Amino acid sequence: MSSTTYLFNIENINEALVKETIKEVCEALKERGYNPVNQLVGYLMSGDPGYISNHKEARNKILKIDRSKILEILIKEYLN
């Protein structure tokens, strides 16, 4: 048995899940011929889920995440 203590960081896991969801949503939007940047900006600015296609459950996936959390993670990624 190891004497090492491991630290479980739920925040890192949550960020990874949000990033993966954003990637999946962008792929679904591309497959439908939409510009994912424009569609995500429209959704994040307005809160209107109509900007996100239902293709591959993209709309349902993005609606499970708070918009402010998405913005926080995108800004953190940009600044790092």
Residue boundaries of the structural domains of the chain:
10-79
- Taking a C-beta distance cutoff of 8 angstroms, is the pair 42, 48 a contact? yes
Q: What is the pLDDT of residue 4?
A: 85
- Residue 62, Cβ density class (10 Å: 0-12 exposed, 13-18 middle, ≥19 buried): buried
pLDDT, tens only, 36-71:
999 999 999 999 999 999 999 999 999 999 999 999
pTM: 0.84
The DSSP-derived string for 3-57 is: -PPPPP-HHHHHHHHHHHHHHHHHHHHHHTT--HHHHHHHHHHH--GGGS--GGG
Per-residue pLDDT tens digits for 3-24 = 888 777 778 889 999 999 999 9
